């Protein structure tokens, strides 16, 4: 009985270690409400303090719904108060792979695979349309 319990505990430890390695390797949590979503940088999600964007990122600092121009910019940094919002937008080339399957009216299967490459050119406009903010 004791060896069986020890074996079950060992199996659980191995499973949790594999889960942790998998989570670390792919950068996405396995379970919970954030399951499958990218792990956010804790430096960007802090409630208040200095927030800095990398040189390849555009920082948009907002207060009361308006963009603060003097603290926003490429590779900028700002001091975020609890009532402010900060959005950090990647301005490097982004790649998205997609696939779509469809059945036509003639009952023929059609499969499309593609690659979209894009770069954000106007971050101030993009932040209004997409949610990049970290409250």
pLDDT at position 93 is 92
Residue 64: CB atoms within 10 A of its CB come to 8
Q: Would you kindly state where each structural domain of the chain is located, as residue ranges?
A: 1-39, 40-134
pLDDT at position 131 is 75
The model carries a pTM of 0.60
**In a structure prediction context, what are the per-residue pLDDT tens digits for the chain, which is 135 residues long?**
555 545 555 666 666 655 555 555 455 556 665 565 556 666 666 778 888 888 999 999 989 888 888 888 999 889 989 888 888 888 899 899 999 999 999 999 999 999 999 999 998 888 888 876 554
pLDDT at position 25 is 47
Tokens representing 124 are: 């101030």
């Amino acid at each position: 009985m004791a060896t069986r319990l020890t074996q079950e505990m060992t199996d659980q430890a191995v499973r949790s270690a594999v889960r942790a390695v998998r989570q670390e390797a792919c950068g996405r949590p396995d379970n919970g409400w954030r399951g499958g979503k990218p792990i956010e940088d804790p430096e960007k999600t802090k409630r208040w303090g200095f927030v800095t964007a990398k040189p390849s990122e555009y920082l948009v600092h907002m207060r009361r719904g308006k963009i603060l121009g003097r603290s926003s910019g490429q590779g900028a940094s700002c001091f975020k108060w609890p009532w402010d919002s900060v959005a950090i937008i990647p301005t490097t080339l982004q790649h998205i792979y997609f696939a779509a399957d469809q059945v036509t009216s003639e009952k023929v299967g059609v499969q499309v695979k593609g690659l979209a490459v894009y770069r954000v050119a106007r971050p101030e406009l993009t932040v209004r349309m997409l949610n990049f903010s970290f409250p």
